[in-house]
Structure 1
Amino acid sequence: MTGLETWIIEQGLSGSSIGTLLTGFAERLSEEGIPLARAYIALPTVNPTIRVFNHTWIHQSGTVVEGISHERNQEAFEISPFGFMLREGLSERHWRFDRSNATEFAIFDEIRSLGGTDYLGHLVRFENAGAPDLRGIAVSFSSLREGGLTPEELARIAGLMPLLSLAAYRIGLFDLTVGMLDTYVGLSAGRRVLSGEIRRGSGATVTAALLFADLRGFTALADQAGAPLIARLDEHLEAMAAPVVAEGGEILKFLGDGLLATFAIDEGRSHDAACAAALQAAVAALELNAAVNVAYPDAMPLSLDIALHSGDVFYGNIGAGSRLDFTVIGPAVNEVSRMEALCGALDCALIMSATVAAASPLPVRSLGPHRLRGVPVERELFTLT
């Protein structure tokens, strides 16, 4: 076993980046005397916005990673060398540019501009019923040498493909796991789960600014359930979520037609800074939600109600033994939800507690003391002037 095989195995065991895997593989092949112009790995993923990640190594400039969306040029694979190989049932194909080829592809011109003289494609299938969309990887290499890769070099690369594919598969599965946890349980919660906080009741008390948002009037439209309503709801939820992310907050969960988000108060962000970020997110969400309503002039507008509060909450695993939810509970969560319920009665789209109002960078006015359900003492509430 050579140094390259050993290095690939190490990447398969502990590597965390397909880009690093490709870069090291291409550079080490070049050090062995195989002069490469370009190397490429495409790895499909399971992601709500990204269909496949393209990793391209170029001898002059290194590796670039590009995520391709589900909507972008879905026919690109079909008209590529890999699409041709798939239709022909080929796992390997070598095109030399100094010979007349029956097929010509747009990527060949790009490779020629880099000094490449051929194109070697490999398709490696992953047969895994548990992850059917992670179907395999597409790998290609192009040589700088006149006449392209030699038979010995083709055999060398073919012999390395099982190891390279296994390493890419393991890293790809890890990326898929992280991506799914980030998407479905949130960035912080996902990292906590991967770090081993998986037992029921495990967690910690944290201090945060809380944002609770809900669409007023959506229940009246619920009988119209269907794709058009879901598509519109997604736009309203995006209007709420995007400002939260932009201001450094985390969406803990979507609650039907609303969401609960936190802005951590810690060494990196003071109480006042977290409250200000939550307020800025709320103001932006109200503006974006209004724009969504304008886009549906013939439909009933859906007003957005938002409440802001801060305090200590328990952040951890809650639920049954076989089905857990990583979320926050505590008096502060109860209060912010009760505050949001008063938005209609007080005719205010945005209500904040005294702790948030005291940190507001924008002028506020008092709404007076109010009784919150389940809270023994009246709370003075505020809104923007």
Structure 2
Amino acid sequence: MANLEDWIIEQGLRGADVGSLLSGFTERLVAEGLPLVRVYLALPTVNPTIRVYTHVWTRSAGLMVEGVSHERNARAFDRSPFNHMMQTEQTRCYWLIDDPAAPQFDVFDDVRRQGGTDYLARLFSFENESAPDLRGIGLSFSSDRPDGFRPEEVERIDSLLPLLGLAAYRMTLFDLTVAMLDTYVGLSAGRRVLSGEIRRGFGTTITAALLFADLRGFTSLADTAGMDLIARLDQHLEAMADPVAEQGGEVLKFMGDGILAAFPITDERSREQACAAAIRAARTALERNVAVNALHAGEPPLSLDVALHCGDVFYGNIGAAGRLDFTVIGPAVNEVSRMEALCNSLDCSVIVSESVASASPVALRSLGRHRLRGIAAERELFTLDPVSVWTA
């Protein structure tokens, strides 16, 4: 087996990224004497924001990788060689781009700018019923030879593409797994699952500052509003979740119109730092929630209530044998949810427990001692001072 074939297999087994795979593959073909000036690889993906990843190698600039959103330039594909091939049920095409008989595509202008003279296009179908949106892979190759690729060069490329496609597919499936875990489970929890923490009941006890946030009035609004309310809810949830990530925390769960988030205390982040991060995230979330309400001025506003508490929680796999959730449970979680339920009766948007108040970097005002449902002893609760900053 030739060295390049061995190299592709090694990359596929090692799990290198697709960009490194393409650039290494191309540079080795150039070293063999192929006059490549541009190589393109497109991979559809299953991602909430990205429709396809494009990888473009050019002799002048090297590799560029770009994620194309679902909304951006949707008609560009309609004018591409790959759409033409799909519409005409072809998987192998080759054109000299200045041939008057060749169809003209927008991408040919890019090829000309790189000094290219031809366009060799190939489509490979993955045909995986369990991941139908991963339809396949599109590749193109362009040379700068006036009469284009020689037959033996096309044959060499074609002999390697099944291996290249298989390696890219393997990498894409792994990237898809990571992305889906990050999106639906969370960054920290996703990495724990991938590292093997998958058995039911398996986990660890951590100390963390907890943030519990919930929209006031959403349930009654949902009873009368239509499906447009889902788009608005996403905006409110984003207003809550983004500040958590910005402050180094993690959203553990979306619960209807609210979130549960944690700021773990570690060797790198002290209790004071975790509590301060939770307070900053709460303040920013409240400010952004006001901004979301302003976007819907003709609709009832939705106030945001936030509770902050600090304590020990169990962080791990919980659930049924065939359906697990990687989350936190424990008395501290129960307590922070009970605190949030008091926001309405205490007429404030933020309630802070004594465990967070003792580490707060900003002034707090005591709300007195209160009994929380299901908790025997009364708790002294606090809110941020001045309250007016938080109740817009």
- Would you say 1:204 and 2:214 are equivalent positions? no
Q: Secondary structure at the match of 1:24?
A: helix
Retained in 1: the 8 A contact 2:343–2:350? Answer: yes
Aligned pair 1:232/2:221, yes or no?
A: no
Q: 1 CA distance for matches of 2:266 and 2:36?
A: 49
CA distance in 2 between counterparts of 1:159 and 1:13 reads: 19
Secondary structure class of the residue paired with 1:372? coil
Q: In structure 2, what is the Cα distance between the partners aligned to 1:225 and 1:199?
A: 41
Query: Displaced runs of 4+ in structure 1, greater than 6 A?
Result: none
Whole-angstrom CA distance in 1 between matches of 2:249 and 2:115 = 47
SS at match of 2:37: strand
Deviation at 1:321, TM superposition (A): 1.0
Letter in 2 for 1:107: V
Give the CA deviation at 1:284: 0.8
1:144 aligns with 2:144: yes
Report what 2:110 is aligned to: 110
Could you say which residue in structure 2 is the equivalent of 1:303?
A: 303
Determine the structure 2 residue equivalent to 1:291.
291
Could you tell me how far 1:98 is from its partner in structure 2?
A: 4.5
Q: Matches of 1:288 and 1:19 in 2, distance apart?
A: 37
Contact 1:15 1:21 in 2 (8 A): no
Taking the aligned partners of 1:150 and 1:122, their CA distance within structure 2 comes to 16
Q: Deviations over 1:96-154 (max 9, x none)?
A: 13432431122111121122222111111111111111000111111133322211111
Cα distance in 1 for partners of 2:82, 2:245 equals 37
- In 2 relative to 1, CA 167–356 (structure 1 residues): closer, same or farther, beyond 3 Å? same
RMSD: 1.3
Distance 1:96 1:361 in 2: 68
User: 2:150 aligned with 1:171, yes or no?
Assistant: no
> What is the match of residue 33 of structure 2?
33
1:272 aligned onto 2:272: yes
SS across alignment from 1:210: strand
TM-score normalised per structure 1: 0.97
Residue 89 of structure 1 and its aligned partner are, at CA, apart by 1.2
Aligned 8 A contact 2:369 2:380 in 1 = yes
Alpha-carbon distance in structure 2 between the residues aligned to 1:188 and 1:104: 48
Residues in 2 aligned to 1:13 and 1:306: alpha-carbon distance in whole angstroms: 47
Structure 2 length-normalised TM: 0.95
Q: Distance in 1 between matches of 2:271 and 2:147?
A: 66
Identity of aligned residues (%): 66
Q: Deviations over 1:329-367 (max 9, x none)?
A: 111111111110111111110111122223323221111
CA distance in 1, matches of 2:225, 2:127: 37
Distance in 2 of aligned mates of 1:270 and 1:65? 38
In structure 1, what is the equivalent of residue 6 of structure 2? 6
- Which ranges in structure 2 are unaligned for 5 or more consecutive residues? 386-392
Q: Counterpart in 2 of 1:325? A: 325
Report matched runs for 1:1-385 at 5 Å: 1-224=1-224, 226-385=226-385
Q: Is the 8 A contact 1:372 1:379 kept in 2?
A: yes
**Cα distance in 2 for residues equivalent to 1:362 and 1:222:** 36
Unaligned runs of 5+ in 1: none
Give CA deviations for 1:235-271 in whole Å, capped at 9, x if unaligned.
1111111111111111111000000011121122111
The 3-state SS of whatever aligns with 1:46 is coil
* d(CA) in 1 for partners of 2:123, 2:40: 12
Query: Could you say what secondary structure the match of 2:79 adopts?
Result: coil
Residue type at the aligned position of 1:159: S
For the 8 Å contact 1:95–1:101, the answer to whether it is kept is no
* Rounded Cα–Cα distance in structure 1 between residues aligned with 2:102 and 2:19: 32
- State whether residues 55 and 64 of structure 1, in contact with CA within 8 Å, keep that contact through their aligned partners in structure 2: yes
* Segment of structure 1 superposing worse, 40-49 or 350-359: 350-359
Q: Could you say what secondary structure the match of 1:78 adopts?
A: helix
**3-state SS of the aligned residue for 1:149?**
coil
